[in-house]
Amino acid sequence: MEEAKYKYIGRSVPRIDALEKATGKIKYMSDLSLPNMLFGKILRAKYPHAKILRIDTSKAEALPGVVTVITHKDVPGLNGFGIVVPDMPVLCKDKVRYIGDAVAAVAAETETIAEKALSLIEVDYEPLPIVDDPEEAMKEDAPKIHEEGNIHLHTEIKRGDVEKAFKEADLIIEETFFTGRQDHTPLETEGGVAFVDEEGNLNVYVGSQYPQRDQLQLARCLNWNPKKIRVVSYPVGGAFGRKDELSIQPILALLAIKAKRAVKITLSREESMIAYWKRHPFKMHYKVAFKNDGTLLGVDAYLVEDKGAYSSLGGPVLNLAVEHACGPYRVDNVHVDGYAVFTNNGIAGAFRGFGAPQTAFAIETIMDIASRKLNIDPIDLRKKSALRKGDKTSIGNVLSTSVGTELVLDGIRESNIWKNREELRKISTKPWLKRGVGVALTYQGTGLGVGIPDYGGAILSMNEDGSFSVRVGTVDYGQGIGTSYAQIVAEAMNIPIEKVKVVLGDSFLTADSGPTSASRGVYTGGKAALIASEKMKKTLKEKVSKLFKTDEDNVEFGFGYVYDKVSGNKVTYEELAKNFKEEGKLPEEEGYFLVPTAEIKIENAFGLPHHIFAFSAHTAYVEVNTLTGEVSVLEGAEAVDGGIVVNRQGFEAQVEGGFVMGMGYGLTEHLAIENGIVKNPNFSTYIIPSIKDVPKRIETIPVINPEDTGPYKAKGIAETVMVATAPAITNAIYDATGARIFSIPATPSVVYFAIKEAESEENFD
Amino acid sequence: MKEIDYFFPKTLEEALQILNENKGSMRVIAGGTDLVVRLKQGQVKEDRLLDISRIDALKGIEDRGEKIYIGATTTHTEILEHPLIKTSVPILHDAIKSIASLQIRNIATIGGNVANASPAGDSIPALFVLNGFVFTKSIEEERKIPIEEFFLGPSKTSLKENEILVGIEITKMQDDEVGFFRKVGQRKGTAISVVNGAVRLKKDSKPNRFSKAFVSLGAVAPTVVRAKIVENALESEEIDSLDKIMYISGLVFREVSPISDVRGSLEYRRDVSINIIYEGLADLFLNGFRRS
Q: C-alpha angle B203/B209/B211, rounded to 5°? A: 55
Q: What is the CATH number of the domain that holds B28?
A: 3.30.43.10
The angle formed by the CA atoms of residues A542, A548 and A549, to the nearest 5 degrees, is 75
Q: Which range of residues forms the domain containing residue B74?
A: 56-171
Which candidate in A684, A750, A760 is best for mutational testing of the B interface (most B CBs within 10 A)? A684
Say whether A430 and B283 touch across the interface (CB within 8 A).
Answer: yes
- CA torsion sign for B203, B208, B211, B216 is positive
For residue range A637-653, list pLDDT tens digits in order: 999 999 999 999 999 99
**Among candidates A124, A145, A126, A123, which has minimal Cα distance to A43?**
A123
Same domain flag for B203 and B137: no
CATH at residue B207 = 3.30.390.50
Q: How far is A748 from chain B (nearest CA, A)?
A: 7
Q: Are residues B45 and B116 in the same domain?
A: no
Q: Are residues B47 and B61 in the same domain?
A: no
Query: In A, residues 722-751, which contact B (CB 8 Å cutoff)?
Result: 747-749
Alpha-carbon dihedral sign for residues A707, A662, A270, B107: negative
Residues of A in contact with B272 (CB under 8 A): 627-629, 748, 752
The answer to whether the CB atoms of A753 and B268 lie below 8 A apart is: yes
> Mutual orientation of helices A748-764 and B266-286 as an angle, nearest 10°?
80
CB-facing half-sphere around the CA of A654: CA atoms within 13 A: 31
A392 DSSP β-pair partners: A398
* CA A490/CA A499 separation, integer angstroms: 8
Q: Could you say which residues of chain B have pLDDT below 50?
A: none
Please state whether the peptide bond connecting residue B222 to the residue before it is cis, i.e. omega within 30 degrees of 0.
no
Q: How far is B250 from chain A (nearest CA, A)?
A: 13
Contact A753 B192 (CB under 8 A): no
Please report the pLDDT score of residue A604 as a whole number: 87
Interchain contact, B187 vs A632, CB within 8 Å = no
A215-266, pLDDT tens digit by residue?
999 999 999 999 999 999 999 999 999 999 999 999 999 999 999 999 999 9
Q: Kindly give the residue spans of alpha helices, DSSP state H, lying in A108-173.
A: 111-120, 134-137, 162-168
Distance CA B209, CA B240 (A): 9
Please give, rounded to a whole number of angstroms, the shortest distance from the CA of B130 to a CA of chain A: 25
Q: Is the pLDDT score of A2 beyond 60?
A: no
- Residue A144 to residue A149: CA distance in whole angstroms: 5
Percent of chain A whose pLDDT exceeds 70: 99
Q: What is the ipTM of this complex?
A: 0.96
Is the same domain home to B186 and B272? yes
Q: Given a cut of 60, is residue A105 above it in pLDDT?
A: yes
Which of A273, A432, A623, A628 to mutate to probe the B interface, most B CBs <10 Å? Answer: A628
- Shortest Cα distance, chain A CAs vs residue B279, angstroms: 7
Most distant CA atoms of chain A, gap in Å: 91
Q: Are residues B46 and B61 in the same domain?
A: no
Interface of B with A (CB under 8 A): 1, 37, 101, 184, 186-192, 194, 242, 262-265, 267-268, 271-272, 275-276, 278-279, 282-283, 286
Contact A430 B186 (CB under 8 A): no
Q: Which regions of A47-101 does DSSP assign to beta strands (E)?
A: 50-56, 66-70, 95-96
B261 assigned to some structural domain: yes
Interchain pair B194, A684: CB under 8 A: no
Mark whether B134 and B60 lie in a shared domain: yes
Are B29 and B84 members of one domain? no
Asked, for residue B126, whether it belongs to a domain, the answer is yes
CA distance A20 to A75: 39
Q: Which residues of B touch A691 (CB under 8 A)?
A: 189
Answer whether 0.95 is exceeded by the pTM.
yes
Contact call for B187 and A690, based on CB within 8 A: yes
Q: Kindly list the residues from chain A whose CB atom is less than 8 angstroms away from the CB atom of residue B265.
A: 749
**Is residue A46 pLDDT above 80, yes or no?**
yes
| Residue A700: strand, helix, or coil | strand
- Is the minimum CB–CB distance between A559 and chain B shorter than 8 Å? no
Interchain CB contacts (distance < 8 Å): A and B: 66
A433–B contact, CB cutoff 8 A = no
Residue B37 domain-assigned (yes or no): yes
Model confidence at A765, in pLDDT bands (50, 70, 90)?
low
Whether A579 contacts chain B with CB within 8 A: no
A1: contact with B, CB 8 A cutoff: no
| Structural domains counted in chain B | 3
Does residue B76 lie in a domain region?
Answer: yes
> Measuring CA to CA, which residue among B47, B54, B66 is closest to residue B15?
B54
Instruction: Report yes or no on B292 lying in a domain.
Output: no
Residues B81 and B27 in one domain: no
User: Do the Cβ atoms of A269 and A189 come closer than 8 Å?
Assistant: yes
CB contact under 8 A, A672 and B262: yes
Amino acid letter, A195? F
Q: A625: which chain B residues are within 8 Å (Cβ-Cβ)?
A: 279
Closest chain B C-alpha to A755 CA, distance in angstroms: 12
Q: What is the pLDDT of residue A66?
A: 98
Backbone angles phi, psi at A372, to 5 degrees: -75, -40
Reported as a pLDDT band with limits 50, 70 and 90, residue A763 is confident
- Count CB neighbours of B87 within 10 A: 11
* Residue finishing a domain among B136, B171, B206: B171
Nearest-CA distance from A689 to chain B in Å? Answer: 7
Which H or E run includes B167?
A: strand B164-171
Q: Mind telling me how many Å the CA of B13 is from chain A's nearest CA?
A: 35
A481, pLDDT greater than 80: yes
Q: Are residues B96 and B143 in the same domain?
A: yes
pLDDT at A5: 87
Provide the CATH number for the domain around residue B155: 3.30.465.10
Q: Would residue B236 count as lying in a domain? A: yes
The CA distance from A757 to A734, in Å, is: 12
Shortest Cα distance from A586 to chain B (angstroms)? Answer: 53
Query: Of A689, A753, A756, which is closest to B187 when you measure between CB atoms?
Result: A689
Q: Does A204 score more than 50 pLDDT?
A: yes
A628 and B275 within 8 Å at the Cβ level: the answer is yes
CB contact under 8 A, B272 and A680: no
Chain-chain contact of A628 with B272 (C-beta, under 8 angstroms): yes
Instruction: Give the chain A residue nearest B190 (alpha carbons).
Output: A690
| A3 pLDDT above the threshold of 70 | no
pLDDT of residue A4: 67
Residues B107 and B166 in one domain: yes
Residues with Cβ within 8 Å of residue A139, at least 6 apart in sequence: none
Q: What is the pLDDT of residues A411-450, one digit of tens each?
A: 999 999 999 999 999 999 999 999 999 999 999 999 999 9
Whether B291 is in a domain gets the answer no
Q: Does residue B247 lie in a domain region?
A: yes
Neighboring chain A residues of B197 at a CB cutoff of 8 Å:
none
Rounded distance between C-alpha atoms, residue A104 and residue A136, angstroms: 31
Written as one string, the DSSP assignment of A226-239 is GGGEEEE--S-S--
Kindly indicate the confidence band of residue A761, based on its pLDDT and cuts at 50, 70 and 90.
confident
Substitution target in B180, B186, B260 with the highest count of A β-carbons within 10 Å is B186
User: Is residue A358 exposed (0-12), middle (13-18) or buried (19+ Cβ within 10 Å)?
Assistant: buried
Nearest residue of B to residue A692 by CA position? Answer: B189
**Cα–Cα separations (whole angstroms), residue A99 to A46, A511, A697, B4, B229:** 6, 38, 41, 30, 47
- For residue B101, the chain A residues in CB contact (below 8 A) are 690
Q: CB-based contact (8 Å) between A19 and chain B?
A: no
**pLDDT tens per residue, range A71-82:** 999 999 999 999
Q: What's the DSSP call for residue A34?
A: -
Q: Can you give the length of chain A in residues?
A: 765
B60 & B167 share domain: yes
Q: Do B264 and A749 lie within an 8 Å CB cutoff? A: yes
pLDDT bracket for residue A764 (50, 70, 90)? low
For A228-284, the DSSP string reads GEEEE--S-S--TTTTSS-SSHHHHHHHHHHHTS-EEEE--HHHHHHHS--PPPEEE
Gap from B2 CA to chain A (nearest CA, Å): 9
Q: What is the pLDDT of residue B2?
A: 73
Q: Under DSSP, is residue B170 helix (H, G, I), strand (E, B) or coil?
A: strand
Looking at the fold, whether B78 and B44 belong to one and the same domain comes out as no
| Cβ density class A704-730: b for 16+ within 10 Å, e for less | bbebebbbbbbbbbbbbbbbbbbbbbb
> Which residues, at least 6 apart from A297, have a Cβ–Cβ distance to it below 8 Å?
A165, A166, A168, A169, A289, A290, A291, A331, A333
Residue in A closest to B183 by C-alpha = A628
A659 contact B CB<8A: no
Q: CB distance A690–B189 less than 8 Å?
A: yes
Contacts (Cβ under 8 Å, ≥6 apart) of A624: A433, A434, A435, A436, A630, A631, A632, A733, A736, A737, A751, A755
Contact status of A674 with chain B (Cβ, < 8 Å): no
Separation between Cα atoms, residue B73 and residue B62, nearest integer Å = 13
Helices assigned H by DSSP within chain B:
12-21, 35-40, 76-81, 83-88, 90-97, 102-105, 110-115, 123-129, 147-150, 228-236, 242-249, 266-286
